[in-house]
Structure 1
């Protein structure tokens, strides 16, 4: 009987203790960016009310395509992830809500030319399957769960990949949208127009040959939000590699995509 009374008293004391406060998420702080860049300032409200689902290609057990650069391997998933992080940071700075579907707890935004490969990437904390269909379905499911709970009127998914073709084939960034997606087409065309304008300004004699087209891709067909899919270059080509290995060029890609998204968001209002 004494033991029972003691347990009752102990339980009552525990119930009377104040609840341990939950650790609040720091405002304007995203640890995925790395310690140096985790904090950011919201500099405008141009994307306030918009929500984005950002997906870098491959990851985990699958590095994607691999190129050779000055005796080093370039892995698609690492460069796509770095560009996605940079893009997400620019969107956050403009007041948007951003979901990073593929995440690496250690690799933040990096400025090195050669980004070391790892298998740490997860799909929002869950291990990424090796099987291709399972891997793609996992990220589609993650996007769709978020999509159906998010209250924003403007919701967009952005997929970033790096292509692999013969070494001598130079390509400009090109863009896909889902079959019959009116707003996906509009966004893809808007990003292309922004890229063309930037190339015309910075390299007026070069031209820009990136294309926009419908594509029957798994992730475009299986995700609920309006989506665009970017192939940022040929990882085998020496000229296209400059788009990847130069950190300022990775940042420029993120900046230009952001400018196009801002313009598209204005059209939706």
Structure 2
């Protein structure tokens, strides 16, 4: 009798193991990532129930800041968009719901150093106005429209830009939140701490000088979700340019932002 019970138990465990091995991984698809990366696997539930509104700066008729790298132009909107797409994919693989507000149906996630400029970007399919105020109003309107429909208890807007300063001014990533927003400040601080730890690990003697501060920016002031605004570096500076032109660095930025968001989500649940 004891032998039979042990045999049945072993078969049951083996059956469960086979089921786990044969269970297909959950997948999703986002055509904006490009053909090669459109399909992604949902590898965890870390951000299940969270919803994000991802907005890359400028786009359409406005390239944003422009730097020169090896005699060629670097356009802010192209690099901000590539990193937004990478961040979107990182968040989706962790089980989140993601809205990509600025869109280019052709580009996808790109691995090149020089990301060619175009004026194809739209705001959720709508042409992007050249006028700055109208452009900002448009993206805020779309974020708020989607925000009202989403049922999640954790909804966050992420705005990504690249700064432009004098060529000799090297900068780290800066994190801004709306003045008076305690949850925005918490998210910005969690992102900052994540970056600080990553720099300690990967460049221990360098230090990290990025800061967190409240800033009265239009998009932070005029969108309903808790929001943060990131400046990823100085597009004019040669060292900061490496943060943008190397695809591994763009991917690291996206991954670190996602990890900081996970930390904040766990604290906010």
Residues 1:101 and 2:133 are matched in the alignment: no
DSSP 3-state at the match of 2:41: coil
Residues 1:48 and 2:36 are matched in the alignment: no
Distance between the aligned counterparts of 1:188 and 1:160, measured in 2?
13
- Superposed, which structure 2 residues align to 1:1-269 within 5 Å? 28-269=28-269
- Runs of 5+ unmatched residues, structure 2: 1-26
DSSP 3-state at the match of 1:243: helix
List per-residue Cα deviations over 1:150-201 (Å, max 9, x = no partner). 0000000000000000000000001100010000000001101000100001
Distance between the aligned counterparts of 1:194 and 1:261, measured in 2?
9
DSSP 3-state at the match of 2:117: coil
Tell me the CA shift for residue 67 of structure 1: 0.1
- Runs of 4 or more consecutive aligned structure 1 residues displaced over 4 Å after TM superposition: none
Distance between the aligned counterparts of 2:255 and 2:246, measured in 1?
14
Equivalent residue for 2:17? none
- Runs of 5+ unmatched residues, structure 1: 1-26
DSSP 3-state at the match of 1:28: strand
Distance between the aligned counterparts of 1:175 and 1:138, measured in 2?
23
DSSP 3-state at the match of 1:180: coil
Tell me the CA shift for residue 268 of structure 1: 1.1
Distance between the aligned counterparts of 2:62 and 2:152, measured in 1?
32
TM-score normalised to structure 2 length: 0.90
TM-score normalised to structure 1 length: 0.90
Question: Size of the alignment, in residue pairs?
Answer: 244
Distance between the aligned counterparts of 1:189 and 1:268, measured in 2?
13
